[in-house]
Structures are given as C-alpha cells and as structure tokens.
Chain A
Amino acid sequence: MAGKDTTKSPIHIPSTPFRPGDISAFEQWTAKPTDLSMPAIDCSAEETAEHAAGMIRVLSDDNIASGDWNRNISAENLRLGLEHMVRLRIFDDRMMKMQRTGKLSFYMRSLGEEAVAIAQTMALEKQDWVFPSYRQPGAQFVRGRDMVSMICHCIGNVEDNVKGRQMPVHYTWKEGRFISISSPVGTQFSQAVGVGLASQYKGLDEVTISWIGEGSSSQGDYHYALNFAGVFKAPVILNTVNNQWAISSHVNVATAGKNFAIRGIPYDLPSFRVDGNDFLALYSVTKWARERAAAGLGATHIEVLTYRAGAHSSSDDPSRYRPQNEAQCWPGGDPIERLKSHLIEIGEWSDEQQNSLEEKIDSEVMSAYKEAVKFGDLANGPYPSSDHIFTEVYETVPWHLEEQRKEMKRWRDA
C-alpha cells in the first residue's frame, strides 16, 4: 500500500487566504448606493440578476444614505434599531462573562452581525414568523421579549421556558412568533417554506423569514428550501448570512463561487446581495421581499454579506485559525458604528446620546441579570425539575416513561 509520492497534491483543496500571522486584506468594495435600482415587486427572477451579482447598499462609506433603496426611514425608527443593536451587543457581553464564570454552559454572540436579525425583523409585520438560526436572537428584542426570560433560558434555571432541555441560545418564544432553534444546522431553512405555505393555506397575511449560514448552505436543506419555495411560490424570505467563517472553515470551503445570492435565480427566486452591516439596506431589501410575499408573488432569496467578528461560540478560539485583526479589515465596517454615524450625520444623534444609551442599556442588562439569577443559574441551581425530562416527549406520558420517571425520582430524591 505504501510507496506512492505524497509530495504533490493531486486533488484541488480550497485555499484560505489568511491565517494567523497574516495581515488580512479584503478586496475593497466598489458598490455604491446609487448603483442598483429597486425593481417592481412583481419582477421576474432574471430581472434581479444585477442585484444578485452586485451589492445593495444605502449607506455610503461615509454613512450617508442615498439611492433607490433609501426608504427615508424615520429617525425614530433608526434610533430604535440602533438601540436594539446596542442592547444585543451589551447583552451578549454580559452573557459571555456569565459563561466564563460557569453560570451558563455555552454561549454564542452575534458580534458584528447585530443588524441582520434586527433590521430584517423590524421590516416585517408583527404577525410574521421568524425562523432563526442561532445567530439571530436579536429578533426577540425587536418583538419585545422580556430580557429576564431570555437570561433564564440561557442559565437553565427554574424559569427557563424550555425547562432545561435545550442548550443556551436555543431560544423558543411562540408569543413572539420566534420558532424554536435546533442545533443541526440548516434544518430551519427548508422548514420555513412549510410555515409560509401553512399561513397561505389558511388565508392569513403572514410571511416567514429564515436565515442560514454560508457554511450551512452546503446542506441539502438549503437547496430544498430554494427549490420548494420556488415551486410553491411560498411567502418566505430566505436569507443566506455569509459571515465568511463556519467555525474554522473559510467561505472558500463552502463554495467555489464568489456569490451566494445568484443561486436563487435558477430556482426562479428574485435574489439580492446586500451589505449586511448596512442597517438601512437590510431593512429596505427585506421590506421589498415582504411586500412581494404578501402580494402572493412568492419568495425572495437574499445574501447578507457580513463578517463574524466574534468566535463561533464560547467553545471556540478563532485566534487558532484566522488573523486576529480580521474584523477590523472588513470593508463593511461595524453595523452599530455605521448606523450611529449616519444618525449623527443627519443631526439625529450624538456621541453623548450614544454614551447615555449605552449606560442605560448596561444597567437594564445588569438588572435583568440580577433578576434572572434570583431563579437560579447553571453553576448553583436551582434547576428545572427533572420531571421535565419525561413530559412533552409525547402528548401524554406513556407507561414506560412513567415507570422510568418514577425510577429517576427515586434516585434523585435518595
């Protein structure tokens, strides 16, 4: 079996441009807010070819809004969007600190991607369904979820609404139409088509939005979603969040192409590539997709171009596989900084207001944290009753689970 020459690489292995020790140099963006017009919502998929190949932006590099996609969102709404993004970032920081002290087992931040779920959920109606992956918890802030309840889930205490069954960040919140998150990646994307079709079947004005990572777009579920959404003209908004990294795997491992957006066109879905750190552009494109879906014209595919500025999760250490400064080199900048600068530019915000907003949210998060830990945390308990292991496996508890529950209880109470 031995004896062959192993020095040459006979097969093509995708390269990763920058590794630790390198200086990342992304290709600078030339796309301008005025480049791409806004098509009519009943356009054909082919009419979006340029939008898929290019990049929709509303904010320029100087954070001035212009172009066809600029919807002149009210300053009040922009400030609200900024507030939600700041809230998510501060919340994430607090949760990460709690994770390091053992108060929760695991955490995933949205750092650098805060605009994605927040701008897009703000562009929807309250009755629309949000079917997230693990990096869109921000949608819950938009829908007004109580932060204490979110923390109680993460720290797995007695007030965890999923009863200690799921890992942190795997939120469920039916009241906010925020569908339960599953760890196997990509499953939500194709399921979202079913959620949308059920709304349509019932004659309801509801649209479903879902996200998948560029890494997970290799899964069959991604292609099922685009195909089924195209075939059934489902009222869904399908977003591929291209944040450059799937744990340690660079986007080059996810695709040999340079673009995810254009994949939607052969499935007959209008497709857009959007600057994912541009709050205004994300909002605008999502609004377009919502209008199209609500008009019964079918689904839209969106590539959200962004950068995962943090680690994949609290278990990950990106300094082992990518340059540490890479987030600073990202041509799309930081979503919070950009929206803040825009608001300051138009005279609707100031550094002082930003500081007091951050202080306000800091104490909001701190008091939510203090309130949540009153109900226990992972390090110290109390935990949800282990009777919950046996309930809601089925609608009613069958005999064998009842027997096992009693057996468990005997040991627990011993």
Chain B
Amino acid sequence: MLERDNDTVVFGQDIGYFGGVFRTCDGLQEKHGKHRVFDSPLAEGGIAAMAFGMGINGLRPVFEIQFADYIFPAYDQIVNEIAKVRHRSGGEFTCPVTIRTPAGGGIKGGHHHSQSPEAQFTHTPGLKVVYCSTPYNAKGLLISAIESNDPVVFFEPKRCYRGPFYGDPHNVPTWKDHPEAEVPESYYKIPLEQARIAMRGDACTVIAWGAMVHVAEQAIRDSGVNCELIDLQTLVPWDRETVTESIKKTGRCVIVHEAPKTSGFGAEMVASIQERCFYHLECPIERVTGWDTPFPHTMEWDYMPSPARIAEAIHKTQEA
C-alpha cells in the first residue's frame, strides 16, 4: 500500500527504525522513507488525534497501538472523533484511518497484554472492525482496511504472529506448510464484510475470529462432528448472509471468542441469528468465551477457551 499510494503513512511507537515490537513493520522505513513510516511519541491519544487530523486533510494514516490493551488513552479520539466526523460534518469530512493493534492472549502477558477489546469498538457507530487470523487474510484484509474510506480498527491476534495456535501452549507450530500462510507478493484484497468458510460441514456452524479460529478448528477435529467453521474476519459490518445460510443448513451454532462473555460480540450475533434463523434452529446457540474477569497471568489456560470446551459445546448441539 505504501508503494501504491503516496498518501498512506504509517506511524506508532517503535515501528520506525526498529520495525515494531512484533516486527510487523520491519524494513518499511528503510524502503519507503522516514516521512512515510515513523516513530511517534509514546501517547496513544496523541497518535489517534494526529491520525484524525491527517485523515481529514487527505492522507490515509495507518497507525499502530502497540497492544490493544493500550488503546484506551486513544478511545476518546477513536470513538468520539474518528468514528463520528463523517456524520457530524454532514459528510464534508471523512477520516480514512486504519488502526492496527495486536490483541488477544496466549503469551503470558497478564491483563494488560492479553485483552481482546473488539466489542468496545463494535459498539461504536462509524467504525469498521476487522479481526484477521492468518497471514493470507491479514494482508488481504489490511489492504481493504487501508483503502476503506471509513475508519477501521484492525485487530491482529498476537498469539498467531509466529504460527497458528491450536490451543496447546506446549505445541505451537509455525506457519510453515499451513494453507493460509502462502502470501502472494502482489496486491490482493479480501473484501470487508466477507466471512471465510474455513471448514465445510453440515452438522453445526461454529463461528470464531482471531486466534480462536484455529482453536475452534482443533475442537472440531477433536469432536468428530462435521462442522462448518466460519472465520468471521470482519465484525462490523459482519457477513450476515454467509452465517445465515450456514445455520439454515446446520440448524445449530456455537460462537467462540476470547473476550469476556457479557456484552461480547457473540451476544450481538446470537441476537441477530435468532431474529433471522429462529425457525431453523434445532437447539439454543452456544457461546464459548473468556470469563467475565480480568485476563490472568499464570492461569491463562484456565481462562482462554480451549478445544475441549468448544468440543463439548459442539456435542451439546448434537444432542438436540
């Protein structure tokens, strides 16, 4: 994107010379110049505000919040300013900002390096919310996010930077040989609002996003049930058609997310699904989520949804 669009600029803490603490911007400054890819002062609120200003004045800023847990000093700028300016200005000003942020647990990060705060943004009109899960969709979705004329909050599951996470902390493979790890050098897009059917099946629809896509995949294999796995990819606006079609076929649904249960995005999906698919459902929709507690440090595997918990929910739907 930096190559295609001279108005795209990338900034954030430690992303310039160093390339980011997760190396996601490695080499970008050298390739595209210091004024295109640069370090900012350590102030998330300031970063978001500067992006707002650049965005309404014709640039296409992409900024990184080093951990999603640190996004809250920028919350006012994102929720009240970036998200609302198109509407409040009668469409005269728009803010095509992309907010990249590593989220989710599994790295022994305790409650300030592990949270998955997507629902705090899906509840904000004006923002699009994306949660990638693989190298392939990370690139395709990110290009769509950057090209979007609406602001996009783009969550990256930090547990998956090195490889897909199947729920076993003692055995985390690398991305090598994974079908979704082939990333074309060339430009390609995955449209926002499009879910990915990661596994086809007809007995139960399992919906997940971020790292939980891989954990759910493992759970489905373990369960022996012929499930359809939907990687939602974009949470707002979400792909209602794909989800509805799948549930009409399976009549059963399990929703999985790492974030706490109460007011999690799963709750919104459950409500929408019953509105559209009530007469197709054979049993209550199951939710497997993080607990309604702060994310723990040493006991994080007792917090994160495990393949076993998801598999049990899948089996429960088969009993009906």
Contact = CB atoms under 8 A, between A and B. Distances in A.
Interface of A: 1-4, 6-7, 9-11, 13-14, 16, 19, 105-106, 156, 160, 164-167, 170, 182-185, 213, 215-216, 218-220, 246-249, 253-254, 315-316, 320-321, 378, 383-384, 386, 388-390, 393, 400-401, 404-405, 408, 411-412, 414
Contact of A16 (B17, B32, B110, B113): B17
Closest 10 CB pairs of A and B: A183-B112, A164-B298, A248-B18, A218-B41, A156-B298, A105-B108, A386-B302, A167-B110, A218-B43, A9-B35
A118 to B, nearest CB: 25
Main secondary structure of the interface of A (DSSP, over half): loop
A220 B43 contact: yes
Interface stretch (B3-11, B180-188, B192-200, B223-231): B3-11
Contact of B38 (A1, A6, A13): A13
Given A1-B6, A6-B33, A249 B298 contact: no
Interface string B5-36: 11100000110111001000000000011111
Contact of A166 (B6, B32, B73, B297): B297
A176 B153 CA distance: 42
B309 interface: yes
B21 A411 contact: no
Interface of B: 4-7, 13-14, 16-18, 21, 32-36, 38-46, 69-70, 72-73, 108-113, 261-262, 291-294, 296-299, 302-303, 306, 308-309
A167 B34 contact: no
Contact of B308 (A2, A213, A411): A411
Contacts of B5: 1-2
Contacts of A9: 33-35
Given A4-B6, A156-B297, A167-B113, 9 more contacts: A13-B34, A13-B38, A160-B298, A182-B112, A183-B110, A249-B41, A388-B299, A405-B291, A411-B306
Nearest to B5: A1
A319 to B, nearest CB: 11
Contact of A253 (B39, B72, B109): B39
Given A9-B35, A185-B42, A215-B42, A383 B298 contact: yes
A10 B40 contact: no
30 contacts: A1-B6, A3-B6, A6-B32, A105-B108, A156-B297, A164-B297, A165-B294, A166-B111, A182-B112, A183-B70, A183-B112, A183-B113, A184-B72, A215-B41, A215-B42, A248-B39, A249-B13, A249-B41, A253-B42, A384-B298, A386-B296, A386-B299, A388-B296, A389-B293, A389-B296, A393-B294, A400-B261, A401-B293, A404-B292, A414-B308
B110 A165 contact: yes
Contacts of A165: 110-111, 294, 296-297
Contacts of B294: 165, 393
B32 A184 contact: no
Contact of A106 (B14, B18, B108): B108
A321 B299 CA distance: 34
Given A254-B42, A389-B303, A1 B7 contact: yes
A371 B46 CA distance: 46
A106 to B, nearest CB: 7
A4 B46 CA distance: 27
Given A13-B34, A165-B297, A386-B302, A247 B17 contact: no
Contact of A390 (B109, B262, B293, B309): B293
A405 B293 CA distance: 10
Contact of B291 (A218, A320, A404): A404
Nearest to B1: A1
A218 B113 CA distance: 21
A246 B303 CA distance: 31
A169 to B, nearest CB: 10
A103 to B, nearest CB: 12
A246 B42 contact: yes
A166 B298 CA distance: 8
Contact of A248 (B17, B34, B261): B17
Nearest to A255: B41
Nearest to B110: A167
Contacts of A166: 110-111, 297
Contacts of A219: 42-45, 73
A164 to B, nearest CB: 4
